[in-house]
Structure 1
Amino acid sequence: MEMSDLTSRLMLFMASDLGVEQETLVGTFQGKKQSVAFHYYPPCRHPEKVIGITPHHDGLALTLLLHVDDTPSLQVRKNGTWYPVKPLPGALVINVGDILQILTNGTYKSVEHRVLPDVEKGRATVVMFQHACVAGMVKPLPELGEAAYRAIEKVEYIKGNFRALAEGTWFVDSLKINHGT
């Protein structure tokens, strides 16, 4: 319930930033699924020999991540460089996922990230994934003007996203519409 409430509050701020009715964006999350994952990565004496979690974007709408410990294994990529995310006690890391990128017509971008194993310490996280869609479709909010992404049924989006993850590609990129620019 608390994560749903936090998500709603975040969507209120984003809606204001986007210039759309608050209920328009909040409504894309209300009544949708949430899923939770508990991750534990044990210490690894030879981190160069393992992957951890490969670079990826979160395919769903919003990810709320709580570091249970202070092991700095999460990294985000910006302009081709990987940056560590320092865990702060009690703080949540919030990732925009691909569906939210599509809903906001690309105004908010999903972040590429990875997890590297640590030589000395394990890492534990609790992750809450927030789902969203508009009437069963993954598509930009109509209020945001000309769509930068094509609409797709959510079930087909999920299938396509899993295929792309297995191939090491970004499914969201295949949904971009080329308007001749």
Structure 2
Amino acid sequence: MMMDCQAWPEPVIRVQALADSGLATIPKRFISQPPTTTAPFLRHHNASLSHELNIPVVDLGGDPEETVRLVGEACRNWGFFQVVNHGVRHDLMTSSRAVWREFFNQTAEEKEQFANSPATYEGYGSRLGVQKGAILDWSDYFFLHFMPASLRNKAKWPALPPSLREVVDEYGEEVVKLGGRIMKIMSRNLGLQEDYLLNAFGGEEGIGGCLRVNFYPKCPQPDLTLGISPHSDPGGLTILLPDDHVSGLQVRKDDRWISVKPLPNAFIINLGDQLQIVSNEIYKSVEHKVVVNSKSDRVSLAFFYNPKSDVVIEPAKELVTEERPPLYPPMTFDQYRAFIRTKGLNGKSQVQSLMNCDNN
């Protein structure tokens, strides 16, 4: 029986309003529960952090063959990497962050005109999942559809600041180009035709593109909560434009949480569950989370480069052998996304649970 996703199970709490109220302690709903694991590195959000490692950096303007090799190594060993010389103008990256920060600094009344619901998530929001009584993350967000173009309804995009819609339109177009370029590099590294992954996701006209702008207010008790709970991204490829002043992203690597140090004018790329499935787990999506702090708020832009909603995603036949049979059953992205929306964020349990399904 499907859950009714037309309304949130409880009144929505705007985290920015909580932070601006000057409260000294956070509500219990935002205190993260200890995970049900004996792994010591997970018992505290900031335990066992490595300050010596950072995710790989790939220069997309370098030697093409070397770029293919470096991207492949990053996808196999990390699931995360940063890209420089990516072709997106630096001033566009700066203005994209600026217009969204200006939006979140609007009055509550202005923002509430764009309040979302679980039906599509498009609009201004403050929680994920529809489980009643769930632990909440310390963040607000704005979610919008960008691709396919038929879903791009600019009337649902904020009207203020006046330049926002124009900036988002240009930014989205450039990031979609970047996503297609990276998908071709990944295809080549996997030994597939250059357009294989793009076609598997529905082709240039079928690609699904969504932008989620995250706003993390400063928090009086940052050690008790998270900006975003541990999860792997359900889609294909995530292109993240991080805050240019404050970092907060952490990646799980070899039973440690690695704090990502963003480079100036770089994008952070991470693989989603659908690329893990298509690659038959040669590439892997990686669990990550976001921490908050007591001194400064943060804004980041996550663009999700996803399969067409009704296209069937399954391991590439070229990557299936007798020794390595298909590890996942065929499933449309819509089916997988509906599962995620019901469950909310929960590490990598969703994609791992698919391996228990009948693969015949």
Q: TM-score, normalised by structure 2?
A: 0.47
**Equivalent residues in 2 for 1:92-111 (5 A)?**
92-111=267-286
Instruction: Using the TM superposition, name which of 161-170 and 28-37 deviates more.
Output: 161-170
The separation in 2 between residues aligned to 1:111 and 1:67, in whole angstroms, is 18
Is 1:25 the counterpart of 2:204 in the alignment? no
Residues 94 and 167 (structure 1 numbering): CA distance in 2 closer, same or farther, change over 3 Å? closer
Q: Give the deviation of 1:163 after TM superposition.
A: 3.4
Dislocated runs of 4+, deviation >4 Å: 166-169
Match of 1:156 in 2: 335
Seq. identity, %? 35
Matched residue of 1:22: which SS? coil
Match of 2:301 in 1: 126
Match of 1:12 among 163, 166, 184: 184
Matched residue of 2:195: which SS? helix
Match of 1:170 in 2: 349
Amino acid of the structure 1 residue aligned with 2:312: M
Matched residue of 2:344: which SS? helix
Q: Give the deviation of 1:134 after TM superposition.
A: 9.6
The separation in 2 between residues aligned to 1:17 and 1:177, in whole angstroms, is 28
The separation in 2 between residues aligned to 1:53 and 1:135, in whole angstroms, is 27
What stretches of structure 1 of length at least 5 have no aligned partner?
Answer: none
The separation in 1 between residues aligned to 2:317 and 2:308, in whole angstroms, is 13
CA contact under 8 A between 2:229 and 2:346: conserved in structure 1?
no
The separation in 2 between residues aligned to 1:143 and 1:4, in whole angstroms, is 26
Q: Give the deviation of 1:168 after TM superposition.
A: 5.7
Amino acid of the structure 2 residue aligned with 1:174: S
Instruction: Using the TM superposition, name which of 148-157 and 126-135 deviates more.
Output: 126-135
CA contact under 8 A between 2:226 and 2:289: conserved in structure 1?
no
Matched residue of 1:68: which SS? coil
Matched residue of 1:36: which SS? strand
Matched residue of 2:285: which SS? coil
Residues 96 and 125 (structure 1 numbering): CA distance in 2 closer, same or farther, change over 3 Å? same
Q: Deviations over 1:116-169 (max 9, x none)?
A: 111212111011001115971121112211311111122221122233435666
Q: Give the deviation of 1:57 after TM superposition.
A: 0.4
The separation in 2 between residues aligned to 1:176 and 1:85, in whole angstroms, is 30
Matched residue of 1:126: which SS? strand
The separation in 2 between residues aligned to 1:27 and 1:77, in whole angstroms, is 30
Match of 2:174 in 1: 2
CA contact under 8 A between 1:56 and 1:165: conserved in structure 2?
no
- Higher CA-based Rg: 2
Residues 66 and 167 (structure 1 numbering): CA distance in 2 closer, same or farther, change over 3 Å? closer
More strand by proportion, 1 or 2? 1
Q: Deviations over 1:29-87 (max 9, x none)?
A: 42221000111111112112322211000011110000132212110011211010112
CA contact under 8 A between 1:150 and 1:177: conserved in structure 2?
no
The separation in 2 between residues aligned to 1:68 and 1:149, in whole angstroms, is 35
Instruction: Using the TM superposition, name which of 121-130 and 25-34 deviates more.
Output: 25-34
Match of 1:80 in 2: 255
The separation in 2 between residues aligned to 1:88 and 1:37, in whole angstroms, is 21
Number of residue equivalences: 179
CA contact under 8 A between 2:287 and 2:348: conserved in structure 1?
no
Amino acid of the structure 2 residue aligned with 1:9: R
What stretches of structure 2 of length at least 5 have no aligned partner?
Answer: 1-172
CA contact under 8 A between 1:147 and 1:177: conserved in structure 2?
no
Which structure carries more relative contact order (alpha carbon 8 Å, separation 6+)?
1
Is 1:46 the counterpart of 2:238 in the alignment? no
Is 1:147 the counterpart of 2:326 in the alignment? yes
